[in-house]
Amino acid sequence: MQDSHAPADRTAADRATAVVTEEWCRALDVTDPSPDDDFFAEGGNSLLIASLIDRVERRLGIVFPVEVAFIDGTLGALTDACAERLVTAEGTTA
């Protein structure tokens, strides 16, 4: 049954990854981030992450608690968390 949702899940994950990565690059003024890069280790701060999350929420139409970024501030963790929320918002299952 889960396989029937795989394409929608993949599309949501791809969209989330693209949007979060674009906003990450914009916030940190970088061009080629790695999923293991940590937002705060790369020079980000609480104001920048709040702004990044606000832009991601607006672009994807999701609610994304800023606390998530403080638990694990890597690009990979942020994209995964956004993808999960986007899949839920679009009514598909992970």
pLDDT tens readout for residues 28-57 = 999 999 999 999 999 999 999 999 999 999
Measured from the Cβ of residue 93, the count of other Cβ atoms closer than 10 Å reads: 12
The pTM for the full model equals: 0.84
Domain 2-89: give its CATH superfamily.
ACP-like (1.10.1200.10)
Residue at 23: amino acid letter? E
Domain boundaries, the chain: 2-89
Task: Determine the pLDDT at residue 9.
Answer: 62
Confidence of residue 3 (pLDDT cuts 50, 70, 90): very low
For residues 69 and 23, is the Cβ–Cβ distance under 8 A? no
Specify the 3-state DSSP secondary structure of 74: strand
